[in-house]
């Protein structure tokens, strides 16, 4: 049996070529998880300000799914090889992988997984909000909008309608991928 993944943010753009547009019932997109930019985690990422190259002490927010019975989130469903799921789990370390097949308007016939905010990822965002230091990366915002615009104007409009993306400032940050030794690549 083939497994599939549902991308509803930046992953939607990456899956678009081999996937199909789908809708996840009963969910809404929000800024729901964050990475603590004060931590340099080997094998992960950090952000620095484009303006001066410094690593700001901020919590960088990413998209998440929350329950909303009146909403349906659009995204892309694509097949994935079994060995790719653990790789995606590492990439999506602020999230938990959950099966969402039962929430799709047209399930493809195999298990469909999405990544939803982990308790730790959501707690980091709440800490950032309390401190007044939660931000979104401008590049990430633009990447997600570009992914849904590439699917067509109707899909970008549905993205906007199924998302609550206000309340956090956008920062002009550059993503730095860290090697296992914690050194920038």
Mean pLDDT calculated for residue range 145-153? 94
d(CA 139, CA 145): 10
The 10s digit of each residue's pLDDT in 88-119 is 998 899 999 999 999 999 889 899 999 999 99
Predicted confidence band of residue 180 (pLDDT cuts 50, 70, 90): low
Q: The domain 3-176: what is its CATH number?
A: 3.10.490.10
Residue 91 phi/psi, 5-degree rounding, is: -60, -40
Name the token pair of 125: 């965002």
Residue 145 phi/psi, 5-degree rounding, is: -60, -40
CB of 178 within 8 A of CB of 42? yes
d(CA 51, CA 57): 15
Domain ranges of the chain: 3-176
What is the overall mean pLDDT for the chain? Answer: 93
CB of 7 within 8 A of CB of 19? yes
Mean pLDDT calculated for residue range 24-45? 92
Q: What is the pLDDT of residue 152?
A: 94
d(CA 81, CA 48): 34
Tell me the DSSP string of 46-79: EEEETTT----S-EEEEEEEEEEEEEEEEEEEEE
pTM tops 0.85: yes
Angle between helices 153-161 and 138-151 (to 10 degrees): 130
Name the 3-class secondary structure at 137. strand
The 10s digit of each residue's pLDDT in 56-93 is 999 999 999 999 999 999 999 999 998 999 999 988 99
Predicted confidence band of residue 184 (pLDDT cuts 50, 70, 90): very low
Name the token pair of 98: 């959950």
Mean pLDDT calculated for residue range 136-155? 95
Predicted confidence band of residue 178 (pLDDT cuts 50, 70, 90): confident
């Amino acid at each position: 049996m083939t497994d599939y993944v549902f991308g509803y943010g930046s992953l939607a753009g990456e899956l678009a070529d081999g996937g199909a547009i789908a809708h996840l019932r009963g969910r809404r997109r929000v800024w729901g998880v964050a990475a603590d930019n004060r931590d340099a985690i080997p094998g992960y990422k950090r952000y620095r300000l484009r303006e001066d190259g410094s690593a700001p002490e901020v919590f960088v927010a990413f998209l998440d799914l929350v329950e909303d019975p009146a909403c349906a989130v659009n995204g892309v469903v694509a097949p994935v090889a079994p060995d790719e799921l653990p790789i995606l789990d590492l990439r999506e370390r602020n999230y938990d992988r959950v099966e969402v097949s039962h929430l799709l308007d047209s399930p493809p016939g195999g298990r469909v997984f999405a990544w939803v905010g982990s308790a730790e990822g959501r707690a980091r965002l709440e800490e950032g909000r309390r401190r007044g230091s939660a931000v979104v990366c401008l590049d990430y915002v633009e990447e997600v909008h570009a992914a849904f615009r590439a699917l067509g104007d109707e899909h970008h409009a549905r993205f906007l309608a199924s998302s609550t993306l206000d309340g956090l400032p956008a920062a002009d940050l550059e993503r730095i991928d860290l090697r296992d030794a914690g050194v920038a690549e």
